[in-house]
Amino acid sequence: MSRRVPFHSSAVTGIFLLAAVIFLGLIAQRGRSQSTKNSSNQDATADNAFQLVTQGRQIFRFDTFGDQAYWGDTLKLHQAIKGAKLGGVGPGVSPITVSNSE
């Protein structure tokens, strides 16, 4: 014959409360790590955006895209801008020249 051990409700309540505290602690820890991760992602995104803008400025300012031979050797654009008075061809282009297409 098996002997039954009396099960006290206070023991069950204590175990349940301990499990609940552990569970809530794990959830809180996960929330903290997620907020740190999101903050880190935002910093990385801002850093990446800044780097892309800086790189874009460098490209816009200094990259010729390999077409300088076309504009200079083929079209001789630099001579057209200079004008015949300065050793180029045609009337030239002045800094105060305004487009007639307006």
What does 61-77 look like in DSSP terms, one character per residue? HH--TT-HHIIIIIS-H
Chain segment 42-100, per-residue pLDDT in tens? 888 999 999 999 999 999 888 888 888 898 899 999 999 999 999 999 998 888 876 66
Cα–Cα–Cα angle for 22, 5, 19, nearest 5°?
A: 5
pLDDT number for residue 47: 92
User: Residue 5: pLDDT above 60?
Assistant: no
pLDDT number for residue 15: 83
64 neighbors 74 (Cβ within 8 angstroms)? no
Where are the chain's structural domains?
9-62, 65-93
Neighbours of 36 (CB within 10 A): 10
